[in-house]
């Protein structure tokens, strides 16, 4: 089978398309014929050796896929050959086939096509967990989303609206903010040009923001926290801006009676599988009702998977970038 391989850590243009042996599913795994793979920020890190997991060489990047089950391991009873599924792979998704532990596989609802399914789990799963279990976001509250046109950010905008919040989208350009507006954001802030502090003061009549969703980090982290409301919840989701892990003076949460809350969706899904499954039932229902409309902004063939990853690392992507394998 064909796979786009990382043979040494390096930038996205060092990935090479090669023919390799097809994977065999282990007893608790299923083998998936990949239709499409969704690109996520960890793909930019894993090929550079900067991610928490460092797979042995050679490996294909690609942390989420959708496709058809080709074979099931002997211990797998709830999935069948031919099922339409989405799966979290960690890596290995930029390939014609991938073997995945069955607990990381979800059936795709009839209302969703397989390419959309490849763009769904990571971003919507993360943002749903963040806003529901971690922030306990309530109807009528204000939600500020940083990096609001990115993968997890845009999902947070849509889920925030579906949960009844007033959503303030913040991003680095007018084009990116237009994407967030079309996804339902009520107010927009361009943090390359405007003062986050002043805009939030005006938009919240001086009260501050109830929930802040931050997948960006960097300088925005403390700046945003300073605009949190009394009883506010600040969600630490990621550090796409790079430049180190931000720190927060501890008097800031004290003064606002506010909480700094970590979000680690992958661990949540493993530790609380039933809660995660319930989240996905809600997400699938909202998708079927048209409340969630995943934006697939760019599609690349497998041999150009490196360009797909580069779109994210160069801060050029909006919504989801897809690698179409079949
Ligand atoms: N905690 C969890 O469970 C979890 C799960 C999934 C992802 N994440 C994390 O969430 C973050 C976003 O992931 P994603 O897949 O949504 O990525 P993405 O689609 O590339 O979005 C990242 C956003 O960050 C902003 N950004 C600011 N500085 C950047 C830079 N130097 N390079 C790239 N982007 C920059 C960009 O928006 P502007 O240009 O508008 O600033 C961009 O839209 C990553 O750190 C990822 O590891 C965490």
Atom index in ligand 1 nearest the CA of residue 239 equals 45
Q: Which of 122, 47, 112, 58 is nearest to 85 (CA)?
A: 112
- Identify the H or E element spanning 101: strand 97-101
Asked if the peptide bond before residue 172 counts as cis, ω within 30 degrees of 0, the response is: no
Residue having the nearest C-alpha atom to atom 25 of ligand 1: 147
**Which CATH number is associated with domain 124-266?**
3.40.50.720
And the tokens for 44?
């930019």
Atom 39 of ligand 1, nearest CA residue: 172
Contact, 83 vs 107, CB < 8 A? yes
Q: pLDDT, tens digit, for every residue of 29-60? A: 999 999 999 999 999 999 999 998 999 999 99
Q: Give pLDDT, residue 208.
A: 98
pLDDT for position 101: 97
Sorted by where each begins, the domain ranges of the chain are: 2-120+294-324, 124-266
- Cα of 247 vs centre of ligand 1, distance in Å, is 18
Q: What is the pLDDT of residue 198?
A: 98
b/e code 61-84 from CB counts within 10 Å (16+ = b): bbbbbbbbbbbbbeebeebeeebb
pLDDT at 96: 98
Q: How far is CA 191 from the centre of its chain?
A: 21
- Specify the residue with its C-alpha closest to ligand 1, atom 12: 215
Ligand 1 pocket test target in 47, 130, 150, 173 with most atoms within 8 Å of CB = 150
Fold exhibited by the domain 2-120+294-324: Quinone Oxidoreductase; Chain A, domain 1 (3.90.180)
Query: Cα 36–39–44 angle (5° rounding)?
Result: 140
**Which pLDDT score is estimated for 298?**
98
Tell me what pLDDT residue 105 has. Answer: 96
Mean pLDDT of 26-31: 98
- Please indicate whether residue 235, judged by its CB atom, sits closer than 6 Å to ligand 1: no
106-161 confidence digits (pLDDT tens): 999 999 999 999 999 999 999 999 999 999 999 999 999 999 999 999 999 999 99
Expressed in percent and rounded to 5, the helix, strand and coil fractions of the chain are 35, 25, 40
**Angle between helix 151-162 and helix 273-288 axes, rounded to 10 deg:** 80
């Amino acid at each position: 089978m064909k796979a786009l391989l990382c043979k040494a850590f390096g930038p996205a243009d060092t990935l090479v398309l090669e023919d390799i042996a097809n994977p065999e599913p282990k007893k608790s795994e299923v083998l998936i014929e990949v239709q499409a793979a969704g690109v996520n920020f960890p793909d930019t890190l894993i090929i550079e050796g900067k991610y928490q997991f460092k797979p042995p060489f050679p490996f294909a990047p690609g942390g989420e896929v959708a496709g058809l089950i080709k074979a099931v391991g002997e211990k797998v009873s709830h999935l069948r050959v031919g099922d339409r599924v989405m799966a979290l792979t960690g890596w290995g998704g930029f390939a014609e086939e991938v073997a995945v532990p069955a607990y990381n596989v979800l059936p795709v609802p009839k209302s969703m096509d397989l390419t959309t399914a490849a763009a769904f789990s990571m971003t919507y799963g993360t943002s749903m967990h963040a806003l529901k279990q971690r922030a306990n976001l309530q109807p009528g509250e204000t939600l500020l989303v940083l990096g609001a046109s990115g993968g997890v950010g845009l999902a947070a905008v849509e889920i925030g609206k579906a949960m009844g919040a007033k959503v303030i989208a913040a991003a680095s350009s007018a084009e990116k903010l237009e994407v967030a507006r079309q996804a339902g954001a009520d107010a927009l802030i361009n943090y390359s040009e405007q003062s986050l502090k002043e805009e939030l003061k005006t938009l919240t009549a001086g009260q501050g923001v109830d929930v802040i969703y931050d997948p960006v980090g960097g300088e925005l982290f403390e700046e945003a926290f300073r605009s949190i409301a009394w009883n506010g919840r600040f969600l630490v989701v990621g550090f796409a801006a790079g430049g180190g892990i931000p720190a927060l003076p501890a008097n800031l949460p004290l003064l606002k009676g506010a909480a700094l809350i970590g979000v680690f969706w992958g661990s949540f899904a493993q530790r609380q599988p039933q809660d995660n499954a319930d989240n996905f039932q809600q997400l699938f229902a909202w998708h079927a009702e048209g409340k969630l409309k995943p934006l697939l902004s760019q599609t690349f063939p497998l041999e150009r998977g490196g360009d797909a990853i580069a779109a994210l690392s160069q801060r050029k992507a909006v919504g989801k970038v897809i690698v179409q394998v079949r």
